Chain A
Amino acid sequence: MLTEPDLVAKAVQGKREAVESLLAHLRPQIVRYCRARLGPISGGYTTADDVAQEVCVAILGALPRFRDQGVPFSAFVFGIAARKVADAHRAATRGFPLSIVDNVPERADARPGPEQLAVASDLARHLHSLLGELTENQRDIIVLRVAVGLPAEEVGKVLGMSAAAVRVAQSRALHRLRTIASSLVDEMAS
């Protein structure tokens, strides 16, 4: 069985099968990353999935230029993904200026999606709004740790931090999320 570095090496050389297996391996991670970062838009993940597709295409295009020069492959992949997500954020805020609303717009897109889909996207939105309470760094860490499933060491490489710093930051992020929960309940009880 090939290890990821072997697969990456062969893919960089343009071996078709290796490129295909590499993408098959990366794609679910990239989709989860984009969905986690962008959240459901207009009631679904169409936008996030489109961005994930763009990320895959961009990775394919950049792959021949990837040389293992101490830059870990995950940093290469999620660096591209982070830039594409940032582009999408900018495009979205240009097209739809953020307005002050006291809850998330519920209006679905033109296609009447099945009820289950609405429920599903609804659920993801809760976490997305909770993540909005974290610092950018904490949010990146939670997305890479939970949504993508990278170990703390890999997350450190992607974000340019030590694994120890990632562990402290992730504990702070979880602490923050738990604090928000308890303050909400206090608020409700008062």
Chain B
Amino acid sequence: MNEQLTPFEPDEATLARDDALLDALGRGGTTPGDDPLALALSLWREELSPTAVPKRAKAKRRKLTWGLIAAALAASLGAGATVAAASNARPDSPLWPITQRIFTEHASIASADAAKVKMADARAAVTEQRPAEAQRLVKEAETLIANVTSLLERDALIAELERVKTLLATILGAGGVPVPQPGATPAPGTAPQPSPGGGSGPGQAPTPSPSPSGPGGILPPLPLPTISLPIHLPPLPTLLP
């Protein structure tokens, strides 16, 4: 570590100032001045306290404070750290979690929306017998979903992703016969499920009629949370400018 190669030699004033700062932080007191590191440490100290009751108001205040820390960091370090610049911060950077925390909500919403579009495209690709493309889209959606921070929303997205994956598995595994019904998985060795009411054979074209309550094959139902959120359906790409 370069720390050992060129150790920082604090002067007396620095030693005294840092010691006083750490004494104040250790007492759980607020720290004077606008040193962003001191502010971050005092928040951390507060956070560690067993008596800290997570109240909504408190959480909101903390969110604001982290915004202030980011602003103070940017200001004190003399960089025009904008949202755009922060979004370029690399994940291996030590301060990545801070920038991520601050801009995470924006990123989360954008990722969720993009994931929905990818999954809709993947469904279409499955229906249209383009497994390679569907696979790529599923993979991309998976990456995007990992960036979604709202747990409820992410669960719903993962549920949809699993359904798309199941669909994809049917065209990959069953000799290219698509079964576009969510939840309906053909049992191995049997013909793909015929359309309800239709008497035709397995070579029939896929029936787009939705039968969401259709019984599955021998596979058990997916262990997915049954959250009925109205966000499964992807938004159609807008044609408006």
Is B26 at the interface (CB under 8 A from chain A)?
yes
Decide if A32 touches B49 in the complex (CB within 8 Å).
yes
Docked CA distance A151–B26 (Å): 8
A52 to B: closest C-beta gap in Å? 8
Is A108 at the interface (CB under 8 A from chain B)?
yes
B32 to A: closest C-beta gap in Å? 16
- Residues in A whose Cβ lies below 8 Å from that of B146: 106
The A contact surface, by secondary structure, is helix
Is B25 at the interface (CB under 8 A from chain A)?
yes
Is B218 at the interface (CB under 8 A from chain A)?
no
- In chain B, positions 75-92 with a C-beta closer than 8 Å to chain A are 77-81, 85-86, 88-92
A116 interface neighbour in B58, B79, B85, B96, Cβ under 8 Å: B58
Decide if A120 touches B54 in the complex (CB within 8 Å).
yes
Is B36 at the interface (CB under 8 A from chain A)?
yes
29 contacts between A and B (CB under 8 A): A32-B48, A32-B49, A102-B91, A103-B96, A106-B149, A115-B59, A116-B58, A119-B63, A120-B54, A123-B44, A123-B62, A124-B44, A124-B48, A127-B47, A130-B40, A130-B94, A132-B94, A146-B45, A149-B28, A150-B26, A151-B26, A152-B19, A171-B10, A174-B21, A177-B37, A181-B77, A184-B93, A187-B89, A189-B80
Decide if B59 touches A146 in the complex (CB within 8 Å).
no
Is B101 at the interface (CB under 8 A from chain A)?
yes
Decide if B88 touches A188 in the complex (CB within 8 Å).
yes
B47 interface neighbour in A124, A142, A182, Cβ under 8 Å: A124
Decide if B3 touches A135 in the complex (CB within 8 Å).
yes
Is B169 at the interface (CB under 8 A from chain A)?
no
- Listed from nearest, the 9 A-B pairs whose CB atoms lie closest are A149-B26, A102-B91, A127-B44, A171-B10, A116-B59, A184-B95, A31-B50, A116-B54, A32-B48
- Residues in B whose Cβ lies below 8 Å from that of A182: 77
Decide if B8 touches A127 in the complex (CB within 8 Å).
no
* Interface 1/0 per residue, B43-81 and A, CB below 8 Å: 111011111101110110011001000000110011111
* Interface 1/0 per residue, A104-146 and B, CB below 8 Å: 1010100010111111101111110110110100000010011
Docked CA distance A186–B78 (Å): 9
A140 to B: closest C-beta gap in Å? 13
* Interface 1/0 per residue, B110-140 and A, CB below 8 Å: 0000000000000000000000000000000
Knowing A170-B18, A171-B15, the reply to whether A116 touches B55 (Cβ < 8 A) is yes
Decide if B79 touches A119 in the complex (CB within 8 Å).
no
- In chain A, positions 135-190 with a C-beta closer than 8 Å to chain B are 135, 142, 145-152, 167-168, 170-172, 174-178, 180-182, 184-189
B237 to A: closest C-beta gap in Å? 28
B54 to A: closest C-beta gap in Å? 4
B221 to A: closest C-beta gap in Å? 19
Is B34 at the interface (CB under 8 A from chain A)?
no
Is A27 at the interface (CB under 8 A from chain B)?
yes
Decide if A188 touches B37 in the complex (CB within 8 Å).
no
Decide if B3 touches A172 in the complex (CB within 8 Å).
yes
A128 to B: closest C-beta gap in Å? 8
Decide if A126 touches B7 in the complex (CB within 8 Å).
no
Decide if A188 touches B59 in the complex (CB within 8 Å).
no
